Chain A
């Protein structure tokens, strides 16, 4: 799954040989491009080649001075994220990172090649949704972009226009949109607002400022023609939880997650039609093929989940429970397939939120008088207890779907992050490509740990789909119970 693009990232790693002659102390902003990058808009004139002619001995000493902090590696900082708090003890990393972006629009800047490996940022980048479907960091399937812009109305174009490269960063901008780490961002600077057509992007950079409340505010910049322009946060609305936020435009595009959802739905439709047909054509015979996989699972959910919890009118809710179960199971397993774009659909809070809201609506619409009586006026309880109990019960109405949402997303997300962290061991031990022995040690550690984790995740995929269905059934069952038994 996620492993794919990370592993392949190694082929992009900077070899130290590429940097021979670079004077790291007097580091200018210019660094060599990554191999394999084709920044068409790159301004190579800015390279100060005189600086490169450093004596070998001096270069060596420069490098030793870098030991002790994790910037010595010239590997890719996957996700370009920089956890500055973690670097606090890092010493002289300022020479690597200093960018003199002072203004939001038009500060002179050159693309900085951020070095080092940040496991946290890498993990977040790989579990995030994206506007391109990337397979193995090589094949990038452009997706349609559907954007509602307050100034210009609805806009439709293909994300192929951005010419995404490594890290899913776009090499071009279209109108005032750019693709940064797989997500569409908007430049909000004069001159680029309401721009039409394509323009080249040299690279991306970011600054971290301390806000008034002491929280670190990250500002992203697109570098165009040697100048940095502030870009808005990504548009995927997640309440700012994963670095998103409300922006001046709405991204209604079918993203990677949406496409995966449609693919899995189509697959399920195909499978279940086939199975349903075989019950007609093979009536009275033993199940065969897909039937023998689907039938036991179906029976298990019916006999162990629907009937015990919902009892009498379970048949009314069985289609819903089955749909939810197989939808979640299908997407869990889809996200587990290695080298297939590392989708993290059920690990996305927005997806599970919608599922939880559907359960909430079904539960409360079908709740009978008994159910509401238990919420507002618990029978057989003295009045002073009710003062506490009723608010708790009311809160419980909302906490139930909230935990449904968090449990599924948390489990799947945690599984993906764990696998990414184990693969990250290769880069941590190998100092992001610098140490060969470390890389080999890291790989030797990472392979068994990743296989172990993926085996666990395979079980978790089934368990979480089952638990979601079980809890949905128990909530529905509690709301539709005919006669209250427990008082």
Chain B
């Protein structure tokens, strides 16, 4: 049973990260479309933010793997 709960936890973490990454990606593409000359800066900020969100999601997934 604990295994199943851990899987649900991992799934929930992925939902959250997915929403966050979608927001970042969408907004970044919008921003680049508005100001193509700033695309370099926007891309850098996008990857940095994506890395933060991904980090949070991975912590959740790893915790659900290890502490089942």
Contact = CB atoms under 8 A, between A and B. Distances in A.
Interface of A: 83, 85-86, 241, 304, 308, 402-403, 406-407, 409-411, 414, 463, 466-467, 470-471, 474
Contact of B58 (A308, A410, A474): A410
Given A403-B59, A410-B62, A467-B47, A304 B54 contact: no
A241 B51 contact: no
Contacts of A402: 59
A414 B54 CA distance: 12
Contacts of A411: 54, 58
A466 B58 contact: no
Contacts of A414: 58, 61
A409 B54 CA distance: 12
18 contacts: A85-B1, A85-B2, A85-B3, A304-B40, A304-B44, A402-B59, A403-B59, A406-B58, A409-B62, A410-B58, A411-B54, A414-B58, A463-B47, A467-B48, A467-B51, A470-B44, A470-B48, A471-B48
Contact of A241 (B40, B48, B58, B66): B66
Contacts of B56: 403
B7 to A, nearest CB: 11
Contacts of A471: 48, 51
B3 A86 contact: yes
Q: Which 10 A-B pairs have the closest CB atoms?
A: A410-B58, A403-B55, A467-B51, A407-B55, A241-B66, A85-B3, A406-B59, A406-B58, A410-B62, A407-B58
A280 B47 CA distance: 35
A150 B52 CA distance: 43
Contacts of B52: 403
Contacts of A466: 47
Contacts of B61: 410, 414
Query: Secondary structure at chain B's binding surface: helix, strand, loop or mixed?
Result: helix
A391 B48 CA distance: 24
A474 B62 contact: no
B8 to A, nearest CB: 15
Nearest to B58: A410
Given A304-B44, A467-B47, 15 more contacts: A83-B3, A85-B1, A403-B56, A406-B55, A406-B58, A406-B62, A407-B54, A407-B58, A411-B54, A466-B47, A467-B48, A467-B51, A470-B44, A471-B48, A474-B48
A245 B55 CA distance: 26
Contacts of B62: 406, 409-410
Given A85-B3, A304-B40, A470 B58 contact: no
A308 B54 CA distance: 22
Of B3, B52, B59, most buried by chain A (CB within 10 Å of CB) is: B59
A308 B51 contact: no
Nearest to B55: A403
Interface string B1-29: 11100000000000000000000000000
A85 B3 CA distance: 8
A204 B57 CA distance: 37
Contacts of B47: 463, 466-467, 470
A403 B54 CA distance: 9
Contacts of B51: 407, 467, 470-471
Contacts of A409: 62
Of B48, B51, B56, most buried by chain A (CB within 10 Å of CB) is: B51
Nearest to A85: B3
A438 B62 CA distance: 32
Nearest to B59: A406
Contacts of B44: 304, 308, 470
Contacts of A474: 48
B35 to A, nearest CB: 17
Nearest to A404: B55
B21 to A, nearest CB: 13
Contacts of B54: 407, 411
A241 B67 CA distance: 8
A85 B40 CA distance: 50
Contacts of A85: 1-3
Contacts of B55: 403, 406-407
Nearest to B44: A304
Nearest to A242: B66
Contacts of A470: 44, 47-48, 51
